[in-house]
């Protein structure tokens, strides 16, 4: 069965073998774009301009035609489930079940799980997130879709973190916080959550080191210091005053937990 990976490194898998290597860099980018936006028409000239920008017009058109032929071969044995059609000036990739593409399956299932706010369903579905969307590419359309999917991923982890904290499962909540920060280390709300969770988990030294990592990251990446709220939490942890404000900090950090 055909399976397509857009999360992490791009792959077109037939019988667990990646068929995308023969497409070349621009062919892989074209195929990834078509799988990212299936079941809609795309203008040939737009696709050529997008992926063969530096080629002469004749060379671009020839390379595009070759890439389409190679993509058809890569997905050719998928029967009626997937078909690449070129009609006039338009190209259309038809997919009967978009969930064969990991990014579409993740987005669909995580939105359903989030709407139900069920941690168990979210925990199962979040494992479908195999990494940043097309991490090997950096075009504008890739960055836009990457940001959308990362937002869903972080939203799901945040809900799981809050529910775990509400149940005093601090280690589980910390796991979620660390996963959020591995995706977005400059998200100070998650930095403060990790600092507080370490403290509640009896790991005050880890909490202080978390602040130092946060400060180093912000200074190196943005040339700024942590927000006042983050610096204040660090001072409370150092002085021990944090333990006098646990109920308030839980409410501020996790939306009413505790």
Q: In 76-126, which ranges are continuous DSSP H helix?
A: 102-116, 119-126
Residue 250 has pLDDT above 90, yes or no: yes
The CATH superfamily label for domain 168-258 reads Tetratricopeptide repeat domain (1.25.40.10)
Helices (H) and strands (E) in the chain, counts: 11, 6
The class of domain 2-99 in CATH terms is mainly alpha
27-46 per-position pLDDT tens digit: 999 999 999 999 999 999 99
Place of tokens 């996963």: 179
The CA angle 186-188-191, to the nearest 5 degrees, is: 95
CA dihedral for 222, 228, 232, 235, sign (positive or negative): positive
What is residue 80's predicted lDDT score, i.e. its pLDDT? 66
E strand map for 63-217 = 82-87, 90-95
What is residue 1's predicted lDDT score, i.e. its pLDDT? 80
Residue 244 has pLDDT above 60, yes or no: yes
Which region holds residue 134: left if phi is over 0, alpha if psi is between -120 and 50, else beta? left
Cβ proximity of 179 and 157 under 8 Å? yes
Residue 94 has pLDDT above 90, yes or no: yes
What is residue 41's predicted lDDT score, i.e. its pLDDT? 95
Q: Among residues of the chain, what percentage have pLDDT more than 90? A: 84
pTM for the model: 0.91
Residues 190-219 have a mean pLDDT of: 97
Average pLDDT, the chain: 93
Place of tokens 């774009």: 33
Which residues are 3's β-sheet partners? 13
Domain ranges of the chain: 2-99, 168-258
Q: Among residues of the chain, what percentage have pLDDT more than 70? A: 97
Which residues are 7's β-sheet partners? 133
Residue of higher predicted confidence among 78 and 208: 208
For residue 11, how many other CB atoms are within 10 A of its CB?
A: 17
117-165 per-position pLDDT tens digit: 777 889 999 999 999 999 999 999 999 999 999 999 999 999 999 999 9
53-65 per-position pLDDT tens digit: 888 989 999 999 9
The CB-based long-range contact list for 170-174 (8 Å cut-off, 24+ gap) reads: 170/197, 170/200, 170/201, 171/201, 173/197, 174/198, 174/201
């Amino acid at each position: 069965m055909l399976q397509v990976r857009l999360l992490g490194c791009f792959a077109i898998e037939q019988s667990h073998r990646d068929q995308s290597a023969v497409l070349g860099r621009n062919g892989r980018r074209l195929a990834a774009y078509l799988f990212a936006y299936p079941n809609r028409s795309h203008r040939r000239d737009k696709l050529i301009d997008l992926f063969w920008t530096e080629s002469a017009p004749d060379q671009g058109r020839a390379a595009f035609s070759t890439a389409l032929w190679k993509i058809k071969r890569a997905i050719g044995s998928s029967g009626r489930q997937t078909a690449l059609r070129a009609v006039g000036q338009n190209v259309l990739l038809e997919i009967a079940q978009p969930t064969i593409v990991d990014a579409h399956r993740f987005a669909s299932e995580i939105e359903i799980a989030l709407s139900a706010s069920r941690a168990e369903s979210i925990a199962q579905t979040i494992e479908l997130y195999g990494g940043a969307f097309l991490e090997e590419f950096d075009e504008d359309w890739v960055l836009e879709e990457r940001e959308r999917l990362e937002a869903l991923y972080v939203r799901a982890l945040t809900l799981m973190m809050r529910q775990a904290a509400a149940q005093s499962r601090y280690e589980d909540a910390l796991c979620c916080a660390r996963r959020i920060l591995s995706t977005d280390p400059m998200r100070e709300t998650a930095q403060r959550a990790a600092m507080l969770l370490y403290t509640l988990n009896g790991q005050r030294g880890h909490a202080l080191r978390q602040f130092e990592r946060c400060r180093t990251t912000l200074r190196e990446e943005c040339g700024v210091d942590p927000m006042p709220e983050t610096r204040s939490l660090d001072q409370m942890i150092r002085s021990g005053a944090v333990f006098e404000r646990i109920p308030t900090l839980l409410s501020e950090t996790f939306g009413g937990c505790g």
